[in-house]
A and B are shown apart, each in its own frame.
Chain A
Amino acid sequence: MLTNPLTKNIGPENIAADIERYRESGGYRGWSKALEMAPGDIVKMVQDGGLRGRGGAGFNTGLKWSFVPRGADSPSIKYLVCNADEMEPGTFKDRLLMERDPHLLIEGMAIAAYAIGAHTAYIFIRGEYHLAAERLEQAIDEARQEGLLGNSIRGTEFSLEIFVHRSAGNYICGEETALLNALEGKRAVPRAKPPFPQVSGLWGKPTVVNNVETLCNIPNLIEHGIDWYRSLGRGEDAGSKLFGVSGRVKNPGTWELPMGTPIREIIEQHAGGMCDGYQLKGFLPGGGSTDFLGPDHLDLPMDYDVIGKAGSRMGTGTIIVLDDHTCPVGLVLNLTRFFARESCGWCTPCRDGLPWAVQILERLENGEGVPEDLDLLREQARRMGPGNTFCALAPGAAEPIQSALKLFEQDFIDHVMHGCCPFEKVAEASAAV
């Protein structure tokens, strides 16, 4: 039984699977099957398969598609957009999929576009991913030449063009409505919701925005069916997922594993455990905008709701490990500086709150903090939380701050008590020896 649908064509060498190699392993069979199905049945199949968005939010993909108006009186123009603006700190999974198996994404997009009735689709890719963009353009050309894209695909009435749009930086483009503004040639500020993009998105037309990895799940789900797809997961959630680990572990990397794989297994077996002389102090389970979890949480399975109940988010599923030699205040300062710089400046809690949080954290890290700073920072994180801002950037930024204050409170207090960063002192002492 196929257990690695996302990475089956990815070998050790840094080459992209071309269309021949892709087809040898069953490529474009899902697309052929989809073309014989009614679009509504595909939406239902994806919904029942239990595929949840791999960009971080974890929303049921088929359900998202089902909000697109369909039928004779629905708008004739609809769009599909692939969010390939991978920029979440500590996230390195979509790059792998696009560079090494670009046809998997193209096939997933073709099926998704057919399911929602879109004839134009865009891959919104970050400007720094040159190799991925080139390989995707080549894959699109190959698919066009074989009549898998273009006009009257496989003798049907369905036509589809896929274009690669290279962006030029800015984390906020990962937010789907900001991304749509950027595609329209505007400043990438988020839009008010509702209306949701599925009703009024790109150029005011119904639009679905899906993450790269989400779309890469589609071809095999359609080809092998719901039961197979659901059976891939070890816990509550269906399918497999790219999990990654970075930080001071012996073997940092990315692996396709069943949903519901325990965190301990990912860090200790696949990532080889901590580097010699280092202990795990905590970790961010799914990128920079998720809450820290601690050693007590290592036995949790990586399922969306389980990680949610533990007080964090599975996010992108790429784990950043914090070791016992690295200062948690310094790490939170690094993350908060990043979010402050990437704020689009549209709403006050984010535009003003993040730089304020940076100032408090700088004070603490430099040993100039006072005991009241901890409460001030807590209050600041709360004010940037859900419901107070226009989009999810500031609430995401608040997650590592609020959780670090809980999990590593003693480290924050030590910075105030010692009037310096205790971790720097240790580093200096060991460097002097």
Chain B
Amino acid sequence: MTSMIEPEVVELMERSNKHPSTAEAQLTEAEIEEIEREFSRYEDKASVGLEALRIVQKHRGWISDETLRAVSNFLQIPVAQLESVATYFQLIFRQPVGKEVILLCKSASCWIMGCSRLQQKLQNKLQIAPGQTTADGIFTLLETPCLGDCDKAPVMMVGEEMHRNLTDESIDKIIENKKAHHADQSPD
């Protein structure tokens, strides 16, 4: 397993090295209130790093550089320290994601029960590879470690919902339902 760095990422890294941005977002009152509630539960502010990222991500969908700086400033911890946490945990998104993040279980039991074929089906349907977001901005597909529902394999999560005993038909239905749901929600 080699770690391939996409050309776009290299370009982005080069650009940000030449022109480092120091722009900082503002945390909202609601975000600050939720983060402060966590302070009493931990021994120091630095320990709230992951919780704070999670709270802010809940409101904003993902963690931009500007947001990361705002959180690190608020917690008074070095931005590099917070970044080391943000990039470590796979459920903290440092890139924009779709409205629905699909976590497809790729672990042993799901693999035995045919998740590879279903993944192909899902990728063809959405026209994306793992790590990508659909052109309409609705779905992001991610592979995930065991989701702990192995007696109902294959399984996946869409947002916070578990979907079990997946088949070609059920995957079609789940995706179509979500598409319809988001079509209803759009202003036009």
Instruction: Please report A residues at the B interface, Cβ cutoff 8 Å.
Output: 86-92, 94-95, 126-130, 163, 165-171, 182-188, 203, 244-248, 252-254, 284, 288, 318, 320-323, 326, 330-331, 334-335, 337-338, 340-342, 354-355, 358-359
The residues of B that contact A92 with a CB separation of less than 8 Å are: 148-151
A246 to B51, CA, bound (A): 33
Within 8 A of A (CB), among B1-16: 1-2
The answer to the question of B118 belonging to the interface, with a C-beta cut-off of 8 Å to chain A, is no
With a CB–CB cut-off of 8 A, which chain B residues contact A165? Answer: 51
Classify chain B's interface size.
35 or more
Q: How far is the CB of B159 from chain A (nearest CB, A)?
A: 9
Question: B: which residues have CB within 8 A of A?
Answer: 1-2, 41-44, 46-51, 53-54, 77, 81, 84-85, 88-92, 103, 106-109, 111-113, 144-153, 157, 160
Give the complex CA separation of A300 and B39 in angstroms: 50
B144 CB contacts on chain A under 8 angstroms: 128, 169
Q: What residues on B are CB-neighbors of A341 within 8 Å? A: 1, 145
Contact B89 A129 (CB under 8 A): no
| Assembly CA distance A165 to B38 (angstroms) | 10
CB distance from A300 to the nearest CB of B (A): 21
Q: Are B148 and A86 in contact (CB under 8 A)?
A: yes
Q: Is the CB of B48 within 8 A of A288?
A: no
Within the complex, the shortest CB–CB distance from B135 to chain A, in Å, comes to: 26
CA distance A252 to B148 in the complex (A): 13
Q: Are A90 and B108 interface neighbours, CB within 8 A? A: yes
**Contact indicator B91/A127 (Cβ below 8 Å):** yes
Docked CA distance A326–B115 (Å): 13
Complex A-B: 19 CB contacts under 8 Å? A89-B107, A127-B54, A128-B103, A128-B144, A129-B148, A163-B41, A170-B88, A171-B145, A187-B84, A187-B85, A244-B150, A244-B151, A246-B109, A252-B151, A320-B109, A334-B111, A337-B106, A338-B107, A359-B1
The residues of B that contact A326 with a CB separation of less than 8 Å are 112
Which residues of B sit under 8 angstroms from A129, Cβ to Cβ? 148
